[in-house]
A and B are shown apart, each in its own frame.
Chain A
Amino acid sequence: MSKRTIQLEVLRYRPEQDKEPFFQTYTVPCEEEWVVLDALNYVKDEIDRTLSFRWSCHMFVCGSCGYKIDGEPKLGCKAFLRDYGDNIRVEPLDNFPIERDLVVVIDDFVEKLQSVKPYIIAKEEKALAAGEYIQTPAQLKAFKQYSMCINCLLCYSACPQYGLTNQEFIGPAALALAHRYNMDSRDVGRSAREHVLAAHEGVWECSFVGACSVVCPKDVDPAGAIQQAKFTSAVDYLTSMVGIGGK
């Protein structure tokens, strides 16, 4: 394993002592195979114990270590040092208030996620003894891609609409998850989600910039999900206008 030294520029902000955020540079001796999260952990363990950042699994499953790395929203555990120069800038995700250093306040997202009821609403609850819900491979394929979301919020950081609307837009991950449950053959909850999806702050605030799908570390393609949801919402709107149904 080859050694390498990098300059890690980290945005610091400790509300009890800093008036405003500032960059602090750490000189970090690294292994070439490291990811940015490894370098942050080196700083925490060996240089500066006051540095705060979220992380957990180190294998892009938990979605905790989303930061802006050299200006782009990335997972710290998926950003390999070999893809960067010797100066790497790490900042908290855009569009969220900073709680401390790289930790952001995600309450707004959690509220939005709950508003779309991201769980299966079955027609009738079956007893365990009644056995499993049967689904064909085609029915699974209709939503599986959208179920890969790990709520890492990189899409919210990349989404210009979420920032432009002062966080009023429901946003990529929550809308993609709403669509994921709407597309699930076991679910009958579309009408319960429609008032959020079909609202101006729902799918219609999306102008299909597509940045969410570009930065998504799990290839969920939230932009694609939102366009599909636009179509079903538009059909709902027209059918309910002429009084032949609609959700």
Chain B
Amino acid sequence: MARSAKAVPWFLFAAGGTITAFVLPVMLFVTNLAPPVGLFSEAMSWETMYGFVGNWLVKLVLLGIIGFGLWHAAHRLRVCAHDFGIRADTVVAYIVYGVAGLATLATIWALLMI
């Protein structure tokens, strides 16, 4: 039996799963839910956040959270397609990993623009 190359995306999936499980709920709360109800509104102001994200370490952390999250979602969707009986695994893999790859590049570009 041939060794499967699924090991590589699985590592990204596993890393992304751990990161998103721990960090994403807090990120969503801090960036999306708290400011509209008046929490952290000063810290989350455009100027403060723009300055904060300008830091290289923050850029790297954001890329980690978003990038690994994307690869986690991509692999999860591939597995979901398989569970739903869609047997065109190679096509599904190219589509989901392609989207994750492009979105990761877009994230890098967006972060470099700041």
Contacts and interface: CB of A to CB of B under 8 A. Distances in A.
A204 B7 contact: yes
Given A207-B79, A234-B10, A237-B8, A196 B85 contact: no
Contacts of A54: none
A199 B3 contact: yes
A198 B82 contact: no
Contact of B4 (A161, A164, A202, A208): A202
Given A230-B10, A237-B8, A198 B3 contact: yes
Contacts of B14: 231, 234
Interface string A144-168: 0000000000000000110010000
A164 B85 contact: yes
Contacts of B114: none
Contacts, number: 49
Given A230-B10, A237-B7, A238-B8, A200 B83 contact: no
Interface string B1-18: 111111110110010000
B2 A200 contact: yes
A198 B2 CA distance: 8
Contacts of B83: 160, 164, 207, 209
Contacts of B79: 207-208
Contacts of A187: none
Contacts of B7: 198, 204, 230, 233-234, 236-238
Nearest to B82: A207
A196 B83 CA distance: 22
Contacts of A208: 79
B3 A237 contact: yes
Nearest to A196: B1
Contacts of A199: 1-4
Contacts of A31: none
Nearest to B89: A200
Counting chain B CB atoms within 10 Å of each CB, the highest count among A195, A196, A198 belongs to A198
Given A199-B4, A237-B7, 20 more contacts: A160-B83, A161-B82, A164-B85, A194-B3, A195-B1, A198-B4, A198-B7, A199-B1, A199-B2, A200-B2, A204-B6, A207-B82, A207-B83, A209-B83, A231-B14, A234-B7, A234-B11, A234-B14, A237-B8, A238-B8
Interface of A: 160-161, 164, 194-196, 198-202, 204, 207-209, 230-231, 233-234, 236-238
**Sorted from nearest, which 7 A-B pairs have the closest CB atoms?**
A199-B1, A237-B7, A234-B7, A200-B4, A204-B6, A207-B79, A204-B4
